[in-house]
Amino acid sequence: MAASTIITFRHSGNFGDVDSTEPPKHDNPLFEDLHNAVLEGDEHRVKTLMRQCSPSDINERHRLGWQLLHLAAVNGRSKICEMLLQGGAKVNEIDQYSSPRLVAEKMNLDPLVIALIRDTEFNQDLARVNFHGCTALHYAALSNSSETIEVLAKYGANPTIKNDLGFKPANFANQALAKRLAQYEEEYIQREKEIEDEERRKFPLEKRIKEHLVGQDAAISMVAATIRRKENGWFDEDHPLVFLFLGSSGIGKTELAKQVAKYLHKDDKKAFIRLDMSEYQEQHSVARMIGSPPGYVGHQNGGQLTDALKNCKNAVVLFDEVEKAHPKVLTVLLQLFDEGRLTDGKGTTIECKDAIFIMTSNLASEAIAEHAMQLRAEQQLVREIQLENKMRGLTSDKPDEDYQEQITISRNFKDTIVRPVLKSHFQRDEFLGRINEMVYFLPFSDSELKQLVVKELEFWAARAKSKNSITMTWDDKVVDVICKGYNIHYGARSIKHEVERRIVNQLSELHHTVKTAKAVHIGVADNGKDGSDLINIKIS
């Protein structure tokens, strides 16, 4: 039957009486032509049509979910696979087709129609099972085409990807090809590790984080050093890594956790698990975390944490504002930190010793902030004395240019001020004893505040450029004025709100005028009646 055959009939029975008309054709005629040429193995026509194609055309999907590379691979068209890859086909894209029944339910069609389309427009030799998540390499293995496997390997096909049923390409291959795929998988993993090691050497964790986080050098260095120690094997493998991030709101605790997850797992969304502990303040919320036991409501649903860890056992898990959690929840966390495993409501044990657990807390945040500000004031005094002595010629020592960045929380402060607060709240030494590192986040210094303001202004300048083609500039004094709105208790959020209140609101009020402008310049006028600096906007 030709690839473009229209199938129309009605069926009533096990699937009910449904409209069995074939789904409408693809809205890109060029894709339809290329799809048919690939299916028929017409290399000359594929080559001719590809001259008219962009990479987006080549990576479009059939209305049931597969791509051209999947089609070529499952039918053993190795030369066509290479043509598609040279034209920009993505080698590791997954097939979104699942099974006749599942696709039929989604599209409100008869499963027999879906099955017939799959047979005639993809491959008629495949079993009618769930293929969702298969890559071109899975299909090359299914077709027992060693030539296609070699072509895909040449272009970097990932042999470690599992489909939705948990199978890798090697699981679909005959004995000879399975051996070749196992060898290729070893080579691929080694090559990826070498590339990743080189990338991390050139672009270490500290450098990556500092692209997204202002200040907190000591916190970043401590976290990076601990993770590097774990990566290099200098770590107790029987227990997971546990951090406690301490400090005020809005100073980078959550962002640092996100960046650690991104560094370790790239863009895998399942690898960053975030639980807001304000939702776990009641005793019964333990069930929400690990699942209800048999006989209780919600038993079949599982727990938020246990289900997430099943999907990624080496995830970065963030327990936000852990001080708000109920003591029973803390008992669960203690077991998790101590044993590196968790048993859900169904009795299934999840091993997660490779996970990284990060708790954030505002406990003792005011004391930490006040101590840091006192240290900065002392540093400022030392700085002024250095400058005065230098001017009088009493010393030739060069004043320390980076004094604001060098403050360190003393061991005495941690032991006499912070630890008693933590011990009083958590009521158990063993819980605190399972924390590998307590990381202190400090209020921003003057130079860091200016960085925050400039970063926020640059964000709005980029928005003005992209939305309205307007160039936005500002005087240096604007940065100083916005810095005055910093609130030590709200951190970077207070800077964000100050920019919105004093600048973005004005731009919004001038919206119709600004829309026709080519540029806006933000400056500072004379003091207002209340002595505050007035920010004004000039439009040109």
Which one of 177, 196, 215 terminates a domain?
196
Q: Identify the CATH number of the domain in which residue 265 sits.
A: 3.40.50.300
Tell me: do 240 and 319 sit in the same domain.
Answer: yes
pLDDT in tens, the chain (540 residues): 333 333 333 333 333 344 445 555 566 788 889 999 999 999 999 999 989 888 888 999 998 989 999 999 999 999 999 999 999 999 999 999 988 888 888 888 888 888 898 888 888 887 777 889 999 999 999 999 999 999 999 999 999 999 988 899 999 899 889 999 999 999 999 888 888 777 777 778 888 888 888 888 888 989 989 998 888 778 888 889 999 999 988 888 999 999 999 988 887 888 999 999 999 998 888 888 888 666 565 555 668 898 888 888 899 999 999 999 999 999 999 989 988 888 887 778 888 899 999 999 999 988 888 888 777 777 666 666 666 666 666 555 554 554 445 567 888 888 899 999 999 999 888 999 999 999 999 888 888 899 999 999 999 988 888 877 888 889 889 998 899 888 888 888 899 999 998 888 888 877 776 667 788 888 887 665 555 678 778 887
pTM above 0.75, yes or no: no
Are the CB atoms for 49 and 13 separated by under 8 Å?
Answer: no
Backbone angles phi, psi at 535, to 5 degrees: -95, 125
Q: What's the CA gap between 493 and 527, in Å, rounded?
A: 25
| 276 three-state secondary structure | strand
Boundary (domain end) residue, out of 343, 361, 379: 361
Range of the domain at 219: 204-361
Residues 231 and 137 in one domain: no
In this structure, what are the phi and psi dihedrals at residue 110, rounded to the nearest 5 degrees? Answer: -75, 130
Nearest to 248, CA basis, from 535, 533, 487, 87: 487
Classify the C-alpha dihedral 220-221-223-229 as positive or negative. Answer: positive
Place of tokens 């795929």: 181
Q: How far apart are CA 482 and CA 186, in angstroms?
A: 55
Residue 415 and residue 180: Cα distance in Å, rounded?
58
Task: Count the helix, strand and coil residues of the chain and give each as a percent rounded to the nearest 5.
Answer: 55, 10, 35
The reply to whether 123 and 42 lie within a common domain is yes
- Among 159, 175, 196, the domain-final residue is 196
State how many domains the chain has.
3
Assess whether 168 and 211 both reside in one domain. Answer: no
